[in-house]
Structure 1
Amino acid sequence: MPHTLPLITTLVGGLTLAFIFGMIAHRLRLSNMVGYLLAGVLCGPFTPGFVADQALAAELAEIGVILLMFGVGLHFSVKDLLSVKYIAIPGAILQIVFATLLGALAGKLFGWSWTVGLVFGLSLSTASTIVLLRALESKGLLAKREGQIAIGWLIVEDLVMVLALVLLPVLAPSDVANSSTDLWLQLAVTLGKVFAFILFMFVIGRRLIPWILSRTADTGSAELFTLAVLVIALGIAFAAVKLFGASFALGAFFAGVVLSGSTLSHKAAQDTLPLRDAFAVLFFVSVGMLFNPSILLQQPLAVILTVLIIIAGKSLAAYGLVRLFGYSKSVALTISASLAQIGEFAFILVGLAIYLKLLPNEARDLVLAGAIFSIMLNPFLFSWLDRYQRKHAGNA
């Protein structure tokens, strides 16, 4: 019996390399995500040695996206957002617009169209939930005002990205030229389907999902409860695609949002956390597999410009906006440092844009390079911020 086991090989190889490089990143006081991305680069087709099955890795990554977005939905809090709405909503939207325009201008320098540049800039505009939450937690800032603003800001960014995932297919090129009327009709149909899905989730899902979980919890079986949560997350994501023409990400996000109001949401989050973490690792590994390191040698200036947009452009915009709303330098710098990176939404957005032929592969490599370097540099920004705040204590 021949032992051609691509699924097991991909899982074992990907997770082993992720563990090794995750440990190395941790010892270097970098985000574990950097290690996972580098593990993906090493088991991808652009580097010598072991090459994982890309098709299988992509499907496993899709499960990772579903579970990540389900987790984002579970932690979505309208109360937290409303507490900082006067700065988080306008601040996040204006910062996204600023970063998107910077990306579009960079795209013109790279010889791309405005549409390609705008999609590229949009992928650079939103920070990683995982990196931000871990950075704030490590600094004890989650409960402080700057932490609340940063989280509210991130919630708005996430909502904008969810909307972008819905609207991107409308911009996809077609073999037959679309008139402006056709484009608006397609947009209306897309938004109509999404609205129907959201309405279904809040009218029926809000009653049905907690009821299912409550009945399952009454059995006293931990594995049945965990299985129920997974069925809800994966099943609703699948139904969103098949029945409403939405995306896996949108379906999973609203499954989490609907469940977040239940008394069992905390238990659901805790019980599925190990599986969510495991598939999130596979997601980052699969993203790393798509990265072609040769771009660092072929287009170093483009890579540097991309990293500068993420770290300098976004940070300066956030700093200026926070100061404009009357907050101290200390709060503004904390929020700037928190947002000076990109992560999972950038990968999801750029992956969809590549699939829809809205971005060239070169753009994906630049986004991935920007993510890797910005995540690597983020801890150093916080270290500098700590030294600055100690030095200027009382003057902020």
Structure 2
Amino acid sequence: MPHDDSLILTLVAGFVLAFVLGMLALRFKLSPIVGYLLAGVVVGPFTPGWTADTALAAQLAEVGVILLMFGVGLHFSLQDLMRVRKVALPGAVVQIAAATALGWGVGRLIGLGDAEAALMGFSLSVASTVVLLRALEERKAVKGEAGQIAVGWLIVEDLVMVLALVLIPLIASAAGTFDGGQIAMKLGGTILSVTVFVAFMLLVGGRVLPWVLVRIAHTRSRELFTLGVLAISLGIAYLAYAVFGASFALGAFIAGVVLNGTPLGHNAAERALPLRDAFAVLFFVSVGMLFDPWVLLEQPVAVAAVVAIIVAGKSAAALVITSVFKLEKRASLLIAASLAQIGEFSFILAGVGLGLQVLSRETHDLVLAGALISIVLNPFVFRLADKLAPPPPPPPEAPAAA
């Protein structure tokens, strides 16, 4: 009996190559994301050899996006954001504006239209949560002042990107019309439907979902609890898309936020973590499959300019903001180094732009090249920050008692 093995081959190739190349990336003290992206390049259509099923990979990546956004919502902390809002809020807004403006300028110089150039710049403005947290954890700086500000900064960026995922398709659909009334009606309708969805989740979901989780927990079955968390994240994401016209990503994010405030929110996050990590790997692999590495040879100047925006431009904006708020030099440099890279949201935005035909394939490849190179360079940016402002020496050990 013949079998259609494309799904199995895609999963095997994706997981095995991601594991091997992720281990190699760690060996060279790089983020495993570099290995996952390269795994996708290896099995993608732009390199010789066997090619994975790109349609299946795209659908698996969509599940990865849902679980990533669900995880972002589960770890969203309004209290942490409010604690550092004086620096993080204006800092994130200024940095997003600066990166978008720089990207627009570079895009116009290389012949892109206004919309494409602006979306490219916007895609370069948000840092990777995975890369940032890993770098701060290595330096045991997550709980310090710089770490808390960097995390709060990233929360603001994530919130802006969640809103952008709702508005970009609407703006793109209205780009060909100049009827102000029609655009206003579309915008108002979208905002209304999203508002109704959010209100429904906060009022109804906030009561029903905790009750459901408690009932599942009473079964004392780990499998059922894990399955329940997965069903909630995927089910609400689909509900947001099919009923309220919102995106899968927004639905998953709001579901995570609602569960975050419940007594079993921490348990839900623990159960979702393995699934999120597994599908996140497939997400990064699928992104790598869409990347044409020949862009590095065909457009080296444009790639260098994009990397400069991410590493130098965003860092400079962060340093200016932190200096205005009179943070210590080392804290400012750590925050700037933490944000001198891009990742998951940039991939999602670039993919949305490609699907809506706002971004061309070449511009999409520029964003992916900038992400890959900036993640590779990020450890070296941190080393430069350590040289410019060395960490304080550890306190002397107390003398042993006689």
TM-score band, normalised by shorter chain: over 0.9
**Structure 1 equivalent of residue 60 of structure 2:** 60
Partner of 1:331: 331
Q: CA RMSD in A?
A: 1.4
Rounded Cα–Cα distance in structure 2 between residues aligned with 1:393 and 1:332: 18
SS in 1 for 2:389: helix
Residue 46 of structure 1 is matched in structure 2 by: 46
Distance in 2, Cα, partners of 1:219 & 1:393: 51
Deviation at 1:357, TM superposition (A): 1.3
Q: Is the 8 A contact 1:173 1:358 kept in 2?
A: no
Q: C-alpha displacement at 1:390, in angstroms?
A: 2.5
Percent of aligned positions with the same letter in both sequences? 57
Structure 2 residue 142 is the aligned partner of structure 1 residue 142: yes
Corresponding residue of 1:238: 238
Contact preservation (8 Å) 1:173, 1:357: no
Give the whole-Å Cα distance in 1 for the aligned partners of 2:114 and 2:368: 21
Q: Distance in 1 between matches of 2:391 and 2:66?
A: 44
CA distance in 2, matches of 1:111, 1:246: 33
CA distance in 1: counterparts of 2:176 and 2:306, whole angstroms: 33
Say if 2:302 is the partner of 1:302: yes
- The residue identity in structure 2 corresponding to 1:275 is L
Match of 2:341 in 1: 341
* Equivalent position of 1:105 in the other structure: 105
Aligned to 1:9: 9
Q: 1:21-43 deviations in whole A, cap 9, x for unaligned?
A: 00110100000000000000110
Question: 1:294-339: per-residue Cα shift (whole Å, max 9, x none)?
Answer: 1111110000000000000000001111111111111110000000
Amino acid in structure 2 at the alignment position of 1:33: I
Indicate whether 1:151 and 2:151 are aligned.
yes
Q: Matched residues in 1 for 2:145 and 2:290: separation?
A: 38
CA distance in 1, matches of 2:175, 2:201: 34
Q: Distance in 1 between matches of 2:3 and 2:252?
A: 35
In 1: Cα distance, 2:38 partner to 2:241 partner: 31
Q: Is the 8 A contact 2:127 2:342 kept in 1?
A: yes
Q: Which amino acid aligns with 2:313?
A: G
CA distance in 2, matches of 1:262, 1:236: 17
Structure 2 distance, partners of 1:215, 1:318, is 46
Matched, 1:74 2:66: no
Partner of 2:204: 204
Residue 117 of structure 1 and its aligned partner are, at CA, apart by 1.0
Match of 1:253 in 2: 253
Q: Aligned residue for 2:387?
A: 387
Distance (Å, rounded) in 1 between the aligned partners of 2:110 and 2:180? 28
Contact 2:174 2:183 in 1 (8 A): no
Give the 3-state SS of the residue equivalent to 2:390 in structure 1: helix
Q: Could you tell me how far apart the structure 1 residues matched to 2:336 and 2:376 are?
A: 16
Q: Post-superposition shift, 1:391?
A: 7.9
Q: Deviations over 1:50-89 (max 9, x none)?
A: 2100000000000000000000000000000000011111
- Judged with a 3 Å threshold, the aligned counterparts in structure 2 of structure 1 residues 105 and 175 are, in CA distance, closer, same or farther, namely closer
Is 1:357 aligned to 2:350, yes or no? no
Amino acid of the structure 2 residue aligned with 1:114: D
The verdict on how the C-alpha distance between 1:228 and 1:391 changes in structure 2, with shifts beyond 3 A counting, is closer
Moved more, 173-182 or 355-364: 173-182
Structure-2-length-normalised TM-score: 0.96
Gaps of 5+ in 1: none
Q: Equivalents in 2 of 1:86, 1:350: separation in Å?
A: 30
**SS of equivalent to 1:172:** helix
For the pair 1:268 / 2:268, whether they are aligned, the reply is yes
- Structure 2: where are the runs of 5+ without partners? 395-402
Q: Which moved more, 1:365-374 or 1:107-116?
A: 107-116
Q: Deviations over 1:173-212 (max 9, x none)?
A: 4696341221121111111111111101111011111110
Task: Please give the alpha-carbon distance, in whole angstroms, between the structure 2 residues aligned to 1:364 and 1:90.
Answer: 28
Tell me by how many angstroms 1:387 deviates: 3.1
Q: The residue matched to 2:24 in structure 1 has which SS?
A: helix
What is the aligned length?
394
1:123-142 matches, within 5 Å, as 123-142=123-142
Deviation of residue 392 (structure 1)? 8.4
- The CA distance in 2 between the partners of 1:175 and 1:353, in whole Å, is 13
Distance in 1 between the 2:254 and 2:177 partners? 34
In structure 2, what is the equivalent of residue 313 of structure 1?
A: 313
